[in-house]
Chain A
Amino acid sequence: MQHPDEGTIHAWLDGALSAGEASALEAHVAGCDQCAAAVTEARGLLAASSRILSALDSVPGGVLPATAPRAEIDDRVIPIARPSRWRSPGWRAAAAIVLVGSVSWLATRSTPREVDGNVAAPTEASKVATSAGASQQSMPFAADSTAQIEQQSARPSAPQAVRRTVMRDERAAAEREPTAPANKLAVPPAPSPQANVATTSAMPYAAPRLVEPPNVGTGGGIGATAGRVAAEARMAAPAPAPVAVASADAALRADTSISAPDRAERRMAPASSRMKVSAERAAPRRMALMETTPDADTTAQRLAGCYYLETASSRSSRPAIRSAAALVPAQIELALDFDSSSHAGWRILRPAPGSPQFATGAHATWSAFAADSVQLELGRGSERVTARLEIRGDSIHGNATVIMPQLDAGSMGTGVRGTRMLCSSP
């Protein structure tokens, strides 16, 4: 057999050759160093190009976001739909309470006391009030809202809100406990967030583990990087059989697309400043992946709460699509209904306190179906909305399917995104 050209090698790696062609190529590569090197390089290119393309997914709507220095990220945890509300002093105070609650929890957590994620200590609210002053220095926007925090704490409803928030913090933190992923490749000790940033910017698609020196490829940058990446593929699957290649590539993509610490960082990234404080102060090394087994009850408790939602199609130029998009409510509460034994695993979906009734006025439910995801069902008769949304930190996003007779096709899909809000009337 002649030396295969690059296109044939890629076709082989993509599993597009016939069994006969594949085995002939495999046999040739086994005895040809030059071709083995070409295969290694091709694997690197495959993994690298996948990694590069996946970076395109991180830009919502095609507009590069205005970037801000990390230190300045304060109260821009914000809403898509109603920015002005979040800038009001009341919301700032509420955000400060969330932050302070988190810091307070961290302080208590360092003591030997066992934290019970389901029962909030009755003194949490008062601890929050007393630690507010101490925490001011580290919170850029706390100074102008401390008085409001105290005022709110004095009102009967405020401690309850704080307690709910603290409970949520505890659950969220419990989820972030280091749980060793059983079937993952070795995860290196997590570097500090800063070190991690340096790593990702210097080697955006190279794996964090360098297991074999690059000595293959065409030389130069690409070969070197590709070689490093490909070296791992060989470690994962030494035999270049097509099936093994496929699994090696899959493992490679999983492993190199985002390094473990980077994944942890990304998980933290969209969270509110409350989460940032928790992560950076308390336990940067505890930012392990949340690879827990989905547990419907625990997940539901963690994800329950109120959210703003914005539907992509609400900006459509077509009236029918806009009206269909309007069936997705703008403010929802994922409420827990522990008494309803007949709806095991299902929860009540209702308008967030103070927001209008759902357009259809129908009974609605939600359920948690994975570690970070919920499914919403809403509607009556011929109009129905089903949404699958992923919740990361305080952000919620996913897709909704709206079924409505007025639509040409009878149904449509649309992107949905939003953010967590407090479950109380503003």
Chain B
Amino acid sequence: MDAEQLFRTYHDTLVRYLTRRLGDRDWAEEVAQETFVRALRQRTLTNERAWLFTVANNLVRDEARRDARRRKHLVLLREEARAQEEAEPEPTSLERAQEAAFARRAVDALAERDRLALLMREEGLDYPEIAAALGLSVGSIGTTLSRARRRLVEAYEALQKRDAGEGGHAAS
């Protein structure tokens, strides 16, 4: 598969996965970019999709480990720049913003392994690919996913209920 085709096939999927994982599209784009750069240095890739996700996971982990402080600083600078821009390309409704905030918190509440497995599954990776990317046995992926899904939904519902309760108090 040539560079362009590899990119066209997997870029959107990888960026969505990373955005969901990191909560930052720019960061996701950068990691995806680096992942493709590395992919193109490989002579052969037996399972392109699993390889890309594994490398992206490793890049995020390595960067988090090595550059935690620098990253915080950059994020801070970026937030400041955004605040100055005062621009929002798509006016997002209060409801959607709240949904997204709850979803973010619910996803962040998951254990790392559960979160990655679930996010990769959502991007269409099959059980062997997820197992390969996370270094788990294929037989354990069903259990991992079922636990992740249940906890995600539970956490989300709890946030909603709490919010509804606070809303009720405020109204009364």
Do A64 and B100 contact each other (CB < 8 Å), given the known contacts A50-B122, A56-B107, A409-B37? yes
- Is A53 touching B92 in the complex (CB atoms < 8 A)? no
- Is B96 touching A55 in the complex (CB atoms < 8 A)? yes
- Is B29 touching A313 in the complex (CB atoms < 8 A)? yes
- Is A14 touching B127 in the complex (CB atoms < 8 A)? yes
**Contact mask A64-84 → B, CB, 8 Å, 1/0?**
111110100100111110010
> When the two chains form the complex, which single residue of B36, B93, B143, B153 contacts A49, counting CB atoms closer than 8 Å?
B153
How many residues from B make CB contacts under 8 Å with A?
A: 74
Q: Does A201 interact with chain B (Cβ within 8 Å)?
A: yes
Q: Does A222 interact with chain B (Cβ within 8 Å)?
A: yes
**Contact mask B75-92 → A, CB, 8 Å, 1/0?**
000110110011111111
How many residues from A make CB contacts under 8 Å with B?
A: 73
**Contact mask A31-70 → B, CB, 8 Å, 1/0?**
0000000000010011011101101111111111111101
- Is A61 touching B25 in the complex (CB atoms < 8 A)? yes
Measured CB to CB, the closest approach of chain B to A243, in angstroms, equals 16
Measured CB to CB, the closest approach of chain A to B94, in angstroms, equals 5
- Is B4 touching A411 in the complex (CB atoms < 8 A)? yes
Q: Does B40 interact with chain A (Cβ within 8 Å)?
A: yes
Do A52 and B142 contact each other (CB < 8 Å), given the known contacts A62-B22, A64-B101? no
- Is B89 touching A83 in the complex (CB atoms < 8 A)? no
Binding-face segment, A287-295, A338-346, A396-404: A396-404
Counting residue pairs across A and B whose Cβ atoms lie within 8 Å, the total is 207
Do A53 and B122 contact each other (CB < 8 Å), given the known contacts A60-B90, A65-B88, A269-B90? yes
Contacts of A412 in B (CB 8 A): 33, 36
- Is B150 touching A45 in the complex (CB atoms < 8 A)? yes
Residue of A nearest to B38 (CB): A409
Do A204 and B20 contact each other (CB < 8 Å), given the known contacts A11-B141, A58-B99, A83-B87? no
Do A204 and B160 contact each other (CB < 8 Å), given the known contacts A58-B100, A61-B25? yes
In the bound complex, CA of A45 to CA of B97 (Å): 22
- Is A403 touching B4 in the complex (CB atoms < 8 A)? yes
- Is A63 touching B82 in the complex (CB atoms < 8 A)? yes
Binding-face segment, A113-121, A131-139, A177-185, A413-421: A413-421
Contacts of B92 in A (CB 8 A): 58-59, 65, 67, 269
- Is B153 touching A7 in the complex (CB atoms < 8 A)? no
Do A53 and B86 contact each other (CB < 8 Å), given the known contacts A200-B95, A399-B12, A409-B40? no
Contacts of B145 in A (CB 8 A): 7, 10-11, 14
**Contact mask A1-16 → B, CB, 8 Å, 1/0?**
0000111111100101
**Contact mask B19-30 → A, CB, 8 Å, 1/0?**
110111111011
Residue of A nearest to B79 (CB): A63
Measured CB to CB, the closest approach of chain B to A305, in angstroms, equals 17
> When the two chains form the complex, which single residue of B96, B143, B144 contacts A5, counting CB atoms closer than 8 Å?
B143
- Is B19 touching A56 in the complex (CB atoms < 8 A)? yes
**Contact mask A313-356 → B, CB, 8 Å, 1/0?**
10110000100000000000000000000000000000000000
Residue of B nearest to A393 (CB): B90
Contacts of B27 in A (CB 8 A): 62
Contacts of B24 in A (CB 8 A): 61-62
Q: Does A225 interact with chain B (Cβ within 8 Å)?
A: yes
Contacts of A414 in B (CB 8 A): 29, 33
> When the two chains form the complex, which single residue of A5, A67, A401, A409 contacts B97, counting CB atoms closer than 8 Å?
A67
Contacts of A6 in B (CB 8 A): 143, 146-147, 150
> When the two chains form the complex, which single residue of B25, B33, B98 contacts A62, counting CB atoms closer than 8 Å?
B25
Contacts of A83 in B (CB 8 A): 85-87
- Is A410 touching B33 in the complex (CB atoms < 8 A)? no
Contacts of A9 in B (CB 8 A): 142, 146
Q: Does B50 interact with chain A (Cβ within 8 Å)?
A: no
Residue of A nearest to B96 (CB): A58
Residue of B nearest to A202 (CB): B164
Q: A7-B142, A62-B25, A83-B86 are in contact. List 14 more A-B contacts (CB 8 A).
A: A7-B147, A49-B149, A53-B107, A56-B20, A56-B100, A56-B103, A60-B88, A62-B26, A76-B88, A80-B89, A222-B154, A270-B89, A409-B36, A413-B11
B contact set with A: CB distance below 8 Å: 3-4, 7-8, 11-12, 15-16, 19-20, 22-27, 29-30, 32-33, 36-37, 40, 78-79, 81-82, 85-104, 106-107, 118-119, 121-122, 126-127, 138, 140-150, 152-154, 156-157, 160-161
**Pairs A–B under 8 Å by Cβ, sample size 30:** A5-B143, A7-B146, A10-B143, A11-B142, A14-B145, A16-B141, A45-B149, A53-B122, A55-B99, A56-B20, A56-B23, A58-B97, A60-B88, A61-B25, A62-B27, A64-B97, A64-B100, A67-B93, A67-B97, A70-B93, A78-B89, A201-B95, A204-B160, A222-B150, A222-B154, A313-B33, A397-B89, A401-B4, A413-B33, A418-B89
